[in-house]
Amino acid sequence: MKICVLVKEVPDAAVEKRIDPSTGRMDRSGEKNLNPYDTHAIEAAMQIKEGGAVPVEEIVAVTMGPDSAVRALHKAVSLGADRSVHLSDPAVAGSDVAATGYALAKTLQRESPDLVLLGQQSDDGECYTIGAVVAEHLGMPSLTQVIKMDVESDALRCERQAEYGYDTVQIKLPAVISVGDAINEPRYPSLKAIMGAKKKPLDAITAADAEIDASKVGGENSAAQWIAAKAPPAKAAGEIIEDEDTGETVEKIIAWLDERKLI
Amino acid sequence: MDFDLSREHELIRRTVREFAEGEVAPVAEELDRTKSFPYEIVEKLGKLNLMGIPFPEEYGGGGGDTLAYALAVEELTRVDSSVAITLCAHTSLGTQPLYLFGSEEQKREWMPRLCSGERLGAFGLTEPEAGSDAGNTRTRARLEDGEWVIDGTKQFITNAGTDISGLVCITAVTGGEAADPAQPKEISNIIVPNGTPGYEQGEPYRKMGWNASDTRPLSFSDCRVPEENLLGPRGAGFKQFLHILDIGRIGVAAMGVGLAQGALDEALKYAKERRAFGKPISKFQAIQGKLADMSTEIAAARLLVYKAAREKDAGRNFTLTAAQAKLKTGRLAVRCAEEAVQIHGGYGFIEEYPVCRFYRDAKILTIGEGTDEVQQMVIARALGA
C-alpha cells in the first residue's frame, strides 16, 4: 500500500489570526507550524504501517505552499513519512478551496496512492472540504471526520464522527479520508528523526510538472473571493446569582435553564 | 550574519515546546508540591533522544549540537525548572565528563545507558568548603592495591540519589599536598557507580525551588573503586572541571532565558485576561512598560546564549561568552519572575499560578554553576583586568 498524506503549513496556534485587508487573505506572516490535524493523519498512516495488517511500501507527505512550507514537510518526515513532495509555484498562490483541491489532486496523480489521508480541517482556513474536492478530481470515494480506521485487504472500515453518534462505513480503496483529532495521539518526533529528516528525499515540483492547467488555479482564477470579516458580537455579561439560600438558588438556576429550554 | 534557526533547530525547539506544554505543564505543579522526581518525564525524554542531545549517535546520543541542547533546555525551563535542571545536570555535568575525558571502554560502558535516560549521571564537585573555590577540595582518594579508596563529602549534588542514578563523577585530591604544601594539590576525577559500598547519598535538601529535582549531600567512607575508574590522566581534574563548568554555563544560561520567557508569557496572558478599572490591565502603560522591558531584555539575552552555543559548536573559545550569558540570564530570570509575580498581584503569591513557582525557581540561577560573582571574575579575567 502506498499512502499519501496531505499536509499544510498554518500560522501557529499561539498567533492571533487576522485577515490582511489589502489582499483579502489570511495574514500568514507570523510563526508557522504543521497543521495540527495533519499530524493526526500522519500518525494514522504510521499506525497502519506499524500495525502490519497490510504492508505499507511508502508514506509520502504532500503539500502545496510557498518556500516556507518545506518546514511543514520537514516535520511530516520527522514524524515518520518516508519522503515528501512540495508543489510550489507562483501560479497556484492565492487559490481558493476548489482550485487548491484541483492542484493537489493533480500532484497526487503523479504518485498513484492507494490511500490519501489528511486532517479534517486546517487550523487557518478551516474549510473542512479539501478532502472531498481532491476525491472528486481523483474519482475516489471520500470520507470525512474519521476517528477510527481498520484496514481490511482492499478496503477500510472507518468510524466517522457524525453530529449525533458515530457512523461505521466500509470504503473501498483507493480512497481519500480526512481524520479528526480523536483518531489518535500523535507522537513527538525524536531528535534522531529530526536530524535524519533531511536525508529523506524532497521532491520540489512546479505547476507544469504536475500538469496543472494554470487557468484553473491562482487568486485570479478562483471563483470564491473574500469580501469582509468581522469579529463575532461580544458576549453579553453573565448573570450572577448570590447564594443566600441554597434551595432558592437551585430553583433560580433551574428556572434560568428552563427559560432557555436547556433542560 | 544569520539570525534564523536552521530547519532542524527550529523543529527541535518546537518539538520540545510541544512536549513541555503537553507532558510537563500538566504535572509541573503537582511534582513541585509533592517534591516528586519526574521519572515518567525522564523516560519520555529519553525515548525522544533528549537525555543525550549533544553526544554522537555511536554512543547512543541524539547527534545534536550545543545549540540544539540549549534550545531544548530553554523550552523545558519555560514550563518547568525542575525537569530542565534534571536534564541539564545529567547532560552537561553527568555525561559530558565521560564523553570528553573517558576512555573508549568507559564511554562504551556508560554512555548508551546515560544517553537513553535509563541511568542518570551526576557530577560531584561542590563540598562544604569548596564551592566557588572548587579547587579547595578536601575529598581524598588514595591508591591502594589497584583501587582508589575515597573519603570525603560532597554537597548540593543533582541527580545522584534517584532510583535511576547510575554514577557520580567526583573530584578528589589524589596527591601533591602531603609531599609539598606549597605545591598545588593534585586533583583527579573518579567515577563512582551508585551501589558502591561506602558511597552514600544523604537525605534530599529542603530547597527554595527546583523541588522536583534530586539534590543531596554525598558521603564517601572507605569507598573503593577500581583504579581504572580514573577519568583521564591523573592530576587533570582541575582543568577538566573548569572545562565542564564552561560548557555547563551554556545550559544554565539557557535555563535563565527559558524561565524569563516563561514568566513573560504567563504575565502577558494574565495581563490580557485580568481586568481593572474597566479594561484589561495589559492596556495600562505601567504594565506595558514591564512587559516591553522583559521582552527586550529576553531577546538580547537569548542572542548571547545562542552565541555561546554557536562558538562552542564552531570549536572556538567560548569561555567569555558563556560566562556573560550565564551572568546576564540568571539576573534576568530573577527579575522577570519578580515582575511576572508583580503583574499577577496577589495571585502571583498563590501557588495556583506558575509564576509563583518560577519566582522560587529563579534565584538559584544567579548561584548555581558558578555564582554571579564567579562569572564576573571569569569575565574580568578574559578582559585582562
pLDDT tens per residue across span B10-53: 999 999 999 999 999 999 999 999 999 999 999 999 999 999 99
- Residues A55-83 have a mean pLDDT of 96
Task: List all residues 6 or more positions away from B41 whose beta carbon is below 8 Å from its beta carbon.
Answer: B23, B24, B27, B83
Distance from CA of A33 to the nearest CA of B (A): 9
**Among B126-140, B144-158, B261-275, B359-373, where is mean pLDDT lowest?**
B126-140
Per-domain residue ranges of chain B: 7-120, 121-235, 239-382
Q: What pLDDT sits at residue B179? A: 55
Residue B270, pLDDT > 70, answer yes
In whole numbers, what is the pLDDT of chain B averaged over residues?
96
State what percent of residues in chain B have pLDDT above 70: 98
Q: Is B369 a catalytic residue?
A: yes
Q: Map residue A171 onto helix, strand or coil.
A: strand
Q: What angle in degrees, to the nearest 10, is found between the helix axes of B7-19 and B66-79?
A: 30
B216-256 pLDDT per residue, tens:
999 999 999 999 999 999 999 999 999 999 999 999 999 99
Each residue's pLDDT tens digit, A112-158: 999 999 999 998 888 899 999 999 999 999 999 999 999 987 899 99
Question: Domain spanning B7-120: which CATH class is it, in words?
Answer: mainly alpha
Please judge whether A191 and B10 are an interchain contact, meaning their C-beta atoms are less than 8 angstroms apart: no
Task: Please check whether the domain covering A2-216 is classified as CATH 3.40.50.620.
Answer: yes
pTM: 0.91
pLDDT band per the 50, 70, 90 thresholds, residue B171:
very high
Is pLDDT at B70 greater than 80 in this prediction? yes
Report d(CA A120, CA B203) in Å as an integer: 53
* Superfamily of domain B121-235 in the CATH hierarchy: Butyryl-CoA Dehydrogenase, subunit A, domain 2 (2.40.110.10)
Cβ within 8 Å, pair A190-B68: no
Mean pLDDT value of segment B290-299: 98
User: What length does chain B have?
Assistant: 385
Helices (H), chain A: 36-51, 70-78, 97-109, 130-138, 191-196, 246-259
pLDDT confidence of residue A216: 95
Topology of domain B239-382 in CATH is Butyryl-CoA Dehydrogenase, subunit A; domain 3 (1.20.140)
Q: Which of A74, A191, A197 sits opposite B48 (nearest CB)?
A: A191
Q: Which residues in chain A are closer than 8 Å to B6, comparing Cβ atoms?
A: none
Establish if B54 touches chain A: CB-CB under 8 angstroms.
no
- Write out pLDDT tens, residues B312-352: 999 999 999 999 999 999 999 999 999 999 999 999 999 99
The pLDDT tens digits for A82-119 are 999 999 999 999 999 999 999 999 999 999 999 999 99
Give B148's strand partners: B143, B225
